[in-house]
Amino acid sequence: MLVGTTIYALINTAILALMAIGFNLTFGISGVANFAYGAFYVFAAYGIWGMLNLLHIPYLLAVLIAVLANLILGALIYRFVLLRVRGQALSEVIATFGIGLAILELFSYFGWVGFEYTLPVFMDRSFIIAGTYVDFQRLAILGFSAVLIACLWWFTHHTSIGLAFRGIAQDERTALTFGIDSDRIAMLSVSFGAGIAALAALFIIPLGSIAPGEGYDVLIKALAVCIIGGLGSTGGVIAASFIVGFAERFTDTYIGSHWTMIVSLAAILLVLTIKPSGLFGKQKELEERI
């Protein structure tokens, strides 16, 4: 029981991290809180589903197209909407929220809800690990999360675009003087965030089904993890995913599934009260430097 719960908690952690990392990447680099993140996730999921079931495009090609489409969508939204309200936090929030709302509600208008709206699992097999059944998909999520985080780390520390990312994340004006085009980088950050949302959908959706409500769900979870971990901090996302992931799974097993949401809320309120900027947040430091 304990081992099984731990394994599932670990998987839950990976799922949460996968959901939050894209949102966090965008915010950490360009300071844009992308409230359309959940919509990107659902958009990619429906995109792949449509290509597989309506157009009968091969799986890998469909995935490739969907990820590309998300990357482009993110870039377009930055270029045509966010760029015009850049730096005005209020407007950025409302604009991305409005976009997300429009996309999600459009899908719910189409009414594509049900068990048939799902993506195929990678491999229909399960394994027994320490006496617990775990299917391949969940293991894939676990592996992919780890690989993705490692890749992102490598990317931001060892490639020139990645270093530019970190540059504008730390000080936009200084970065500008070094010839880094902050608008281009910010556009890439929104675009990459959207791309990661597509990948997250590809891995996570096969566990359930696609529904517009999933979009709100992913957004809530991503926000919760980011608030607890501290906005813009990758270490924070990992730590918060562990905390929320384990807390949820253990309350579910030992107390009751009703309580998982309360645990999340309590965790958020507790962290906000004790350390408002989140466990690893840099926000406080910024506030101090006024």
Partner 1 sequence: MKKRKERIDRGIKARSSDIFALLSWREMLYLAAPRLLPVIVCLLLPLLLGPYWQKVLLSVAVVALLAISWDILAQTGMVSLGQALFFGVGAYCSGAMNHYWGLSPVLTIPIASLLGGLICTLILLPVLRLRGIYFSMVTLIIPLILVRIVEATKIFGGTEGLSGMTPLPSTWFELYLSMAVLLAVLFGFRRMMDSDYGLVLKGINDNDRSVINAGINIYWFKAQSLFIAGAIGAFCGAFMTHVYMFVGMPVFALDYSILPIAAAVVGGPGTLAGATLGAFILVPMSEALRGFGGLRIVLYGVFLVVFIVALPEGIFHYIQRKYHQIERWVEVDK
Partner 2 sequence: MTDAPILSVSELSKNFGGVRALNQVSFDLQPGELLGVIGPNGSGKTTLVNLITRFVKPTSGEVFFKGKKISHLPPYKIVRLGIARTFQMVKPFYQLPAYKNMIIPLYSPRMRQLAGGHYGDRDAMALDLLEEVGFERDAHVAYKTAGALPQGYLKRLELAKALALQPDLFILDELFSGLSLAEVASIVPIIEKIRMAGKTIIMIEHRLKELFRIADRVIVMNYGEKIADGPAEAVMEDEAVKSAYLGTEAG
Identity of the residue, 141 or 194, whose beta carbon is nearer to partner 1 in the bound complex: 194
Q: Is 236 in the site for partner 1 (CB under 8 A)?
A: no
Tell me the closest approach of the beta carbon of residue 285 to partner 2, in angstroms: 8
Identity of the residue, 60 or 288, whose beta carbon is nearer to partner 2 in the bound complex: 288
- 3-class secondary-structure state, position 275: coil
Tokens 């407007």, located at residue: 91
Q: Is 224 in the site for partner 1 (CB under 8 A)?
A: yes
Tell me the closest approach of the beta carbon of residue 27 to partner 2, in angstroms: 20
* Interacting partner of 289 out of partner 1, partner 2, none (Cβ under 5 to 8 A depending on kind): partner 2
* Interacting partner of 288 out of partner 1, partner 2, none (Cβ under 5 to 8 A depending on kind): partner 2
Identity of the residue, 61 or 286, whose beta carbon is nearer to partner 2 in the bound complex: 286
Q: What is the C-alpha to C-alpha distance for residues 186 and 225, in angstroms, rounded to an integer?
A: 22
Identity of the residue, 63 or 218, whose beta carbon is nearer to partner 1 in the bound complex: 218
Closest CA to 117 of 50, 199, 55: 50
- 3-class secondary-structure state, position 232: coil
CA atoms within 13 A on the CB side of 59: 6
Q: Is 255 in the site for partner 1 (CB under 8 A)?
A: no
Identity of the residue, 231 or 247, whose beta carbon is nearer to partner 2 in the bound complex: 231
Tokens of 49: 């589903």
Q: Which spans of this chain sit near partner 2 (rule: CB under 8 A)?
A: 285, 288-290
Q: Is 254 in the site for partner 1 (CB under 8 A)?
A: no
Within 159-255, residue ranges assigned H as helices are: 160-170, 172-177, 182-204, 212-229, 234-254
Question: Going by C-beta distance under 8 Å and a sequence separation of 6 or more, which residues neighbour residue 50?
Answer: none
Q: What is the C-alpha to C-alpha distance for residues 20 and 112, in angstroms, rounded to an integer?
A: 25
Q: What is the C-alpha to C-alpha distance for residues 56 and 45, in angstroms, rounded to an integer?
A: 15
Q: Is 114 in the site for partner 1 (CB under 8 A)?
A: no
Beta strand segments in the chain, E: 126-129, 132-135
* Interacting partner of 273 out of partner 2, partner 1, none (Cβ under 5 to 8 A depending on kind): partner 1
Positions touching partner 1 (CB under 8 A) are 33, 35, 81, 84-85, 89-95, 97-103, 105-106, 108-109, 216, 219-220, 223-224, 226-227, 231, 257-259, 261-262, 264-265, 268-269, 272-273, 276-277, 283-284, 287, 290
